[in-house]
Amino acid sequence: MSVILLAGGPGTRLHPFTHTTPKPLLDLGDVPILGMQLALCARHGLTDVVLNIHHLAARVPEILGDGARWGVQLRYSVEETPLGTAGPVALASGLLDEGPHVVFNGDILTDTDLTALLDAHRRSGAAVTLTCTEVKDPTAFGLVLAGDSGRVSRFLEKPTQDEARVLVDRFWINAGTYVLEDAIVRRIPHGRPYSFERELFPALLAEGVALHRFASDAYWRDCGTPASWRQAVRDMLEGRLAPPAHWRREERDGHVVWTGGRVTWGEGARVDGGPVFLGDGVVIGADVRLGRHVVLGPDVAIGASSRLTGVMLGRHARVGEGTRLQGLLGGDACEIAADCVVQTEALLASGTVLARGTRIA
């Protein structure tokens, strides 16, 4: 059995961050989204993983290597041209073990029970099992309708609230994690873009092939937009799913501080609201105040007397003295000079420099 992870999309909704980093490698604190998925696979004994990559493909092996750090063995399948969600599976078919296979969208944070998913797949005898998660608002997702036995009866892509309400009172959406039998993998056309959601699954359903819905109440979040990426990290800080194994939880000034390694605190620096996350090598200057949901990646340095709330900054970012930052989302290696004031949910691409005294409000 192999796991196939889809990690080649352009991630346009996460511009500007995905100009330099493929979406599935964006950090959740100090762990790439894919790192959380690989650790989940390893916890369920699924260690043979094939990664399908295209956009910024060279960056992926640089960061994930052979997967040993996550307890899996990684192999890469590189697409010359993007093949959508199902096309990459056909391209990688020569690398796969014997089925059934687990396919995962690479931009999802979840602790779904993969063992239970595979058990449900075997019990139902279906050719495909789709993990589904319940949402209140299905309008941005693919709704999966099924009978009491779990057999899928209909797909509805991005329905309006009214369309959905007429059909069902609970909204189970496609959560982007599937189990596929070998016969299904063999049906995917080679060498051209092909979609699970829009092409393969509706075609199988029309032919009467058995598709099963695995309704999961586990934590699930699609990290595909700046807001949902930010929320995924906040969910980790709030303990909505198990944190990475190396994170440590401390209390400071009465607030929860998660750390990914060694943090240096200047004199008089305080945490005014938690939880926060501070990566390995973070340096907090004297008299700094950190507020709720501050997330600083590894090796970030914050200058003396700065005030930060709801700010997320990537690795190696530098912040000067006396800044006031609220809600900012910055990529790796941003430089924010002294006395800057940012009071919006501004998005700063990796490497952005804000000159001394810049105001964004």
**Residue numbers of the site for ligand GTP (CB under 6 A)?**
6-13, 23-24, 52, 54, 79, 82-85, 88, 105-107, 224
- Residue 18 makes CB contacts below 8 A (sequence gap 6+) with 10, 11, 12, 26, 55, 56
CB-wise, 5 or 118, nearer to ligand GTP?
5
Q: Is 94 exposed, middle or buried (0-12, 13-18, 19+ CB in 10 A)?
A: exposed
Enumerate residues 6+ apart whose C-beta is below 8 A from 170. Answer: 134
- Nearest CB to ligand GTP, comparing residues 21 and 129: 21
Decide whether 191 or 254 has the Cβ nearer to ligand GTP: 191
Q: In angstroms, give the least distance from the CB of 21 to ligand GTP.
A: 12
Which pair of structure tokens corresponds to residue 235?
């969910």
Give the nearer residue to ligand GTP in terms of CB position, either 117 or 317: 117
Shortest distance (Å) from residue 110 CB to ligand GTP: 13
Long-range contacts of 183-191 (CB under 8 A, 24+ apart): 183/127, 184/127, 184/128, 185/89, 185/90, 185/93, 185/96, 185/99, 185/101, 186/93, 188/86, 188/87, 188/89, 188/90, 188/93, 189/87, 189/90, 190/90, 190/91, 191/87, 191/90, 191/91
- CB nearer to ligand GTP: pick between 82 and 239: 82
Question: Is 158 or 248 the residue whose CB approaches ligand GTP more closely?
Answer: 158
Residue 55 CB, nearest approach to ligand GTP (Å): 7
Strands 73-78 and 48-53 come out as: parallel
CB of 10 to ligand GTP, least distance (A): 5
C-beta nearest to ligand GTP: residue: 9
Nearer to ligand GTP, 225 or 326 (CB): 225
Contact criterion met (CB below 8 Å) for 164 and 143 = yes
Q: Shortest approach of ligand GTP to residue 102 CB, angstroms? A: 14
CB of 313 to ligand GTP, least distance (A): 22
Pull the structure tokens for residue 2. 């192999």
What is the smallest separation between the CB atom of 279 and ligand GTP, expressed in angstroms? 24
The phi and psi torsions of 49 (rounded to 5 degrees) equal -125, 130
Least Cα distance to 348 among 24, 33, 17, 23 occurs for 17
